[in-house]
Amino acid sequence: MKFTTRALLTAALAAAVTAPALGGTPPDPRNIVAILDATQNFGDTRRAVSFYDITTLTGTVFNQAPLFSIWSGYEDAVSSNFEDPGAITVNPKNGTVYMLAFDSGNPGVYDANADDHDGDYDLYRFNYNAVYNHWVTNGMVSNSMYAPTSGPDGSLNPQHPQHVGTTINLAGASEKIGELQRNEDTASSEPFFDFAIEYVNPATMVVLDNQWGRDLTTGEPTGAGSDVHANDHGI
C-alpha cells in the first residue's frame, strides 16, 4: 500500500474491550494505531482508515495486515466517486476517529447525487469502538473491511471495490457529520490535501487549512505577493 505523508500522522488507540490477540493474549489495554490510506487509485484499503495492533509488534507495522479498516462509502455512488480524505485525528478520551476529506467544485453548489455541497471539507466520524467490538465477536478476521449500512449519499450497503472479500456493513461504522468551509482559490496549482485536524483537548478539535493560494473570499489579487500568511494557516 502507498501512504501519503499526512497519512502517516498515526493515532494511538486503546480498545474498549479486552480480546486475545491473534496467536496470544496481549497486555491490557490493547495498543492500536490508526493509519489513513489516502492512496488515490490503487490498493485494497484505499481511501479508508486501517487499524493495526502494535501491542506485541515486532518489526514494522507495514509488515502485517491491519486488524480491520473502515471506509466511509462512496461520496457519490452513481459516479463511483470516492471521498478524497487527507487527515485523521482521534478523540483521546473515547477513541472516536474523525476524518476530513477535500470536496472539489464551486463552493455552495448542491450536488443532488451525493446529497452534498461542493467546495468545502467533509467531516466524518468513525465509530472505532463499535467496529472493534463487532470484529472481536465475529471471529477477529484479519484485514476485514467495514463500511456503514448507508453511504454518505444514501446508497445502501456500499462495497469497497478493491478490497478482497465482502465489505461488512455495520450501522454507524462511519457517518458524515458536517461540512466545513475552506479557503477557495482558482489557481490551478492549488493543493487539494494540504490540511490537518487535531484535538487540543477531548472537547476541542481544530482544523488547520494550510491553503497557500489567494483567498477569493477576501478579494486577494492575483500575481506576486497575493499569497498572505493569514490565509496560509487558517484555524
**Tell me: the pLDDT tens digits for 191-200?**
555 688 888 8
Domain assignment present for residue 115? The answer is yes
How do strand 144-147 and strand 68-71 relate by DSSP bridges? parallel
In angstroms, the CA 211 to CA 184 distance is 8
**CA-closest candidate to residue 10, choices 73, 76, 57:** 57
Domain assignment present for residue 183? The answer is yes
Condensed to tens digits (0 to 9), the pLDDT of residues 68-103 reads 999 999 988 888 888 889 899 999 888 899 999 888
Domain assignment present for residue 134? The answer is yes
User: What is the number of structural domains in the chain?
Assistant: 1
- Domain range spanning residue 190? 6-195
Question: How many C-beta atoms surround the C-beta of residue 199 within 10 A?
Answer: 16
Tell me the C-alpha to C-alpha distance, in Å, between residue 48 and each of 30, 56, 70, 235. Answer: 21, 24, 6, 25
Position 4 confidence tier, pLDDT thresholds 50, 70, 90: very low
pLDDT of 216 strictly over 90: no
All three cell numbers of 59: 518489526
> Where would I find the H helices in the chain?
128-137, 229-232
What's the chain's average pLDDT? 76
Domain assignment present for residue 219? The answer is no
Position 53 confidence tier, pLDDT thresholds 50, 70, 90: confident
Domain assignment present for residue 218? The answer is no
Domain assignment present for residue 149? The answer is yes
